Every structure is written in C-alpha cells, then in structure tokens.
Structure 1
Amino acid sequence: MTRPDTASRTQTLERTRTERPRLWRVLLLNDDYTPMEFVVEVLMGHFHKSEAEAQVIMLAVHHKGQGVAGVYTRDIAETKVAQVTAEARAGGFPLRLVAEPEDEGPL
C-alpha cells in the first residue's frame, strides 16, 4: 500500500486581524421645552458625567444646538438613546438624542 504524498497536501493558516469596533457619538439635540435641569440629570445618570461636565455639555446643547453626551460602540449608543428617550417621554419632555458614527460630521 502506498502512502499519499504529504508534500502536496499543505495547509495554509490564515491569520485574521481583529479590528476595533467603530465608535458612535450620542448627541443631545436642543429643543425649547426640555428643562436644562433634566438634561443635566440625564447626563449625570445615564452618561456618568460629573455635575460640572454635565453643565458644560448642557450649555453646548443650548447654545450650539447639540452636544456630545458620550462615545460608545453602536449597541451601547443605541441602547442609551432608547433609554434616555423613554425617560424623557415618561417625563413629558421632547428631548431628542441621536447616535452617529464618530468619523462623520455634525448633523
């Protein structure tokens, strides 16, 4: 019985590179009805900002129309948008949040 030629059955090992996941910005958008205090509470409670950081972001939203609440992977960003939106609606506020890829420009 003859043995198969082992030299002709070479296996190629491919190395795959793991890439960092794309990051998404969670933006708070300005409106004329949501109280500034509620925005500060959201930033402190959901985005773990200090009161000083929350005040700065809230003022950016108020004066510039939007502010970055945080940068996360897509799933986390979308979850935060959904949670904060639900909390705002429960409180009767029209606060809007959006998640966008970090490398894109502003809305």
Structure 2
Amino acid sequence: MPTKSEVLEKTKTFLPELYNVILHNDDKTTMDFVIEILMSIFNKSFDDAAKIMLEVHNHGNAVCATYTKEIALSKQRAVIEAAKAANFPLKCTIEKE
C-alpha cells in the first residue's frame, strides 16, 4: 500500500462535445435579416456576418459558430424566436462537430 507521499494523482481533462450552429437558406428570409441575426445573436462583425450570409445564400447553409451543446441549443432557440417574430421561415439546426 502506497504511503501518502507516494499517492499518484490521476487527472483526466474533460473536453465537452462541441456542436455547430447552422443556418439554412430559404426563399423568404432577407439577407439583411440574416446579417442582423449573425451580428446580434452570434456577435459577428458586419464583415464576418456578410461572409457567412453569402455562404448560406450560395451553398444552402453555413456554420455560424461552434459551442457546447447547451449554448448551441440556446443560440438555436434565439434564432428561431427572432425569425418567428419577424415572420421569416429561417431554419437553424445544430449538429455535433
């Protein structure tokens, strides 16, 4: 049996699973609204928001940001609520990175 001074300490670093928050293109949501969402909910600069918006527009969807599951779900909920309040059908999903 090891003495107190011989006790080995084992530590395991916990890395939470990360989730991508994804915006999807549609024919009704305006580009300006998508930029507004990216700036207000995801704290993107105007230039970064415009780049992501164009990726959504040109490729059908784009990753906005990556968070832990709880934060990703919170951001998704905020996007859906804002889109609903503005009468836009903007779709926002999350997926494990």
Q: TM-score scaled to structure 1, two decimals?
A: 0.80
Whether 1:93 aligns to 2:92 is no
Q: Does 1:68 align with 2:58?
A: no
Partner of 2:16 in structure 1? 21
Instruction: Please state how far the C-alpha of 1:13 moved relative to its aligned partner.
Output: 7.1
* CA distance in 2: counterparts of 1:79 and 1:88, whole angstroms: 14
Shift of 1:99: 0.7
- Percent of aligned pairs sharing the same letter: 45
Q: Matches of residues 41-60 of structure 1 in structure 2 within 5 Å?
A: 41-60=36-55
SS of alignment partner, residue 72 of structure 2: helix
Pick from 71, 74, 79 the counterpart of residue 79 of structure 1.
74
Instruction: Structure 2: state its 5+ residue gaps.
Output: none
Q: Residue 15 of structure 2: SS of its match in structure 1? A: coil
Secondary structure at the aligned position of 1:15 is classed as: coil
Corresponding residue of 1:3: none
RMSD of equivalent CA atoms: 1.7
Separation (CA, whole Å) in 2 of partners of 1:38 and 1:64 = 18
Say if 2:33 is the partner of 1:38: yes
Give every structure 1 segment of 4 or more consecutive aligned residues whose post-TM-superposition deviation is greater than 4 Å.
none
Aligned length in residues:
93
Distance 1:13 1:96 in 2: 51
Partner Cα distance (1:59, 1:87) in 2: 20
SS at match of 2:64: strand
Q: Which runs of 5+ in 1 are unaligned?
A: 1-5, 103-107
Q: What residue identity is the alignment partner of 1:62?
A: H
